[in-house]
Amino acid sequence: MSTDRAWATRELEQLLQGVLGKECWSVVPGSGSNSTIALDFGRHVKLDQPIMNPKLTAEQQYYEGEFSLLIYCDWALKLGTIEVTTWEDMFDDLEESEYQLNKVVGQRVTEIDVIPPRLDLDIHFDNGLCLEVRCVGTGDADETDSEHYLYFFQGDAVSVLPGGRLDFGP
């Protein structure tokens, strides 16, 4: 686990380069009591075991992305300065939030900004939308090692933890 913030920022920027130009083909919002979202990018990679969840599409049940992002912390989908939907909206109207989130499906990532010191993210899509990920809390009583988000790539993973720390491993 690394606590060197400058190194962590550079390392994460380098790892996220793989997502640039890739199409987002899946967004799965949390259900009911949480605001977690999962996004898949790039090639479809067949799962060893399908996820037999009726809330998922057939594509989501049998494939994962070449690159995936699982977000636990605060996030907002914006068009310019206008909030299209946020993590808070999922508690009020999950269907509307899901509808808005799906506007990034079929869109390519044009830019990813890693913002120190917490390693917040701005993920820009070619339709002008930006997913802002803010590492300000996960709601857990003990957030010492609670992940803000996880990035899965090439059979590996990195967790972004409080304090701008990175933890590597599947």
Q: What is the pLDDT of residues 59-97, one digit of tens each?
A: 999 999 999 999 999 999 999 999 999 999 888 888 899
Residue among 96, 67, 87, 94 nearest 132 (CA): 87
Q: Which residues, at least 6 apart from 128, have a Cβ–Cβ distance to it below 8 Å?
A: 79, 80
Higher pLDDT, 18 or 93: 18
Q: From residue 164, how far is each of 11, 61, 91, 150 by CA, in Å?
A: 12, 32, 27, 13
Give the residue-averaged pLDDT of 17-36. Answer: 87
pLDDT at 145: 64
Q: Which domain holds residue 34?
A: 5-168
Per the structure, how many domains does the chain have?
1
Question: What per-residue confidence (pLDDT) applies to 31?
Answer: 57
